[in-house]
């Protein structure tokens, strides 16, 4: 494990560099353990890392880094399997034809492959309610679009690399849009204001409308 300063009041603790469920489980457990400390203001799990915001009046970067190393070496407690969300998708996204052409697969097959696995929510971030889902089956692996869209409609179901995601709000975005869902991911009047949590599981299924 390595730690790096992120300014004078935060640090990044890296558990690894691979997209890996076990590493992500450890990151989520480490973030939860760190949040209980009085000198920690906030701990956010990434794919395989934890970003820790701390109070420099109560601790130093080096002291906290040492404490994190001790915590990370402990075996994480057995974690409950995350909640399972079933998400209906209409597979008619504006990039479906182009994705089908690039991959040399018919759109129906792309939909079938995309809906096959149970995805893990690796982390929540980027914009409110966005969840990084993975791993996407290798057959659908594509680099991001060369030119990102300035406006992606909310509810768009997208893929890039070995990941999938759903745009919770209308934002800019560089992923390939293969479908859409009516499920709301950003719930501004709930607390927490999002449907998914890190560690949850997601199953897509094809829907007509």
- Do the beta carbons of residue 11 and residue 65 sit within 8 Å? yes
| Contact with another protein (CB under 8 A) among 70, 147, 151, 191 | 191
Q: Is residue 127 near another protein by the rule CB under 8 A?
A: yes
Give 7 or 104: the residue with its C-beta nearer to another protein: 7
| Contact with another protein (CB under 8 A) among 107, 128, 135, 153 | 128
| Contact with another protein (CB under 8 A) among 99, 121, 194, 202 | 194
Stretch that binds another protein, among 76-84, 112-120, 129-137, 176-184 (CB under 8 A): 129-137
Phi-psi region of 125 (alpha: psi -120 to 50; beta: other; left: phi over 0): left
Alpha carbon of 205 to those of 91, 110, 115, 158, 208: distances in Å? 10, 12, 5, 14, 10
Stretch that binds another protein, among 75-83, 84-92, 112-120, 183-191 (CB under 8 A): 183-191
**In angstroms, what is the minimal distance from the CB of 112 to another protein?**
27
Q: Is residue 138 near another protein by the rule CB under 8 A?
A: no
| Contact with another protein (CB under 8 A) among 29, 30, 37, 61 | 61
- At residue 191's C-alpha, the angle toward residues 119 and 15, to 5°, is 45
Q: What is the b/e burial string over 153-182, where b = at least 16 CB atoms within 10 angstroms of the residue's CB?
A: ebbbbbbbeebbbbbbeebebebbbbbbbe
Q: Is residue 174 near another protein by the rule CB under 8 A?
A: no
Q: Is residue 8 near another protein by the rule CB under 8 A?
A: yes
| Contact with another protein (CB under 8 A) among 29, 30, 34, 45 | 45
CA atoms of 88 and 207, how far apart (whole Å): 5
Cis peptide before 29 (omega within 30 of 0): no
Q: Is residue 69 near another protein by the rule CB under 8 A?
A: no
3-class state of residue 2 by DSSP: strand
Strands (E), 6-147: 10-14, 40-45, 49-54, 84-89, 119-124, 131-134
Q: Tokens standing for 42?
A: 């906030």
User: Rule CB under 8 A: which residues touch another protein?
Assistant: 4-10, 12, 14, 17-19, 41-42, 44-51, 53, 56, 60-61, 123-130, 132, 161, 168-169, 171, 186, 188, 191-194, 198
């Amino acid at each position: 494990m390595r730690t790096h300063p992120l300014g004078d009041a935060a640090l990044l603790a890296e558990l690894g560099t691979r997209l890996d469920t076990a590493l992500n489980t450890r990151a989520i457990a480490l973030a939860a353990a760190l949040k209980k400390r009085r000198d920690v203001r906030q701990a956010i799990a990434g794919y395989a890392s934890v970003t820790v915001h701390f109070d420099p009046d109560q601790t130093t970067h080096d002291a906290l880094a040492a404490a994190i190393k001790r915590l990370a070496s402990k075996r994480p407690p057995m974690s409950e399997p995350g909640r399972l969300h079933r998400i209906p998708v209409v597979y008619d996204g504006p990039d479906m034809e182009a994705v089908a052409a690039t991959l040399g697969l018919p759109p129906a097959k792309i939909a079938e492959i995309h809906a096959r696995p149970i995805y893990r929510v690796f982390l929540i971030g980027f914009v409110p309610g966005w969840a990084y889902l993975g791993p996407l089956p290798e057959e659908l692996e594509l680099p991001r679009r060369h030119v990102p869209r300035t406006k992606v409609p909310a509810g768009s179901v997208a893929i890039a690399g070995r990941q999938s995601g759903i745009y919770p709000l209308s934002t800019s975005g560089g992923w390939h849009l293969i479908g859409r869902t009516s499920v709301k991911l950003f719930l501004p009047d709930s607390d927490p204001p999002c449907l998914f949590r890190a560690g949850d599981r997601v199953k897509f299924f094809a829907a007509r409308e």
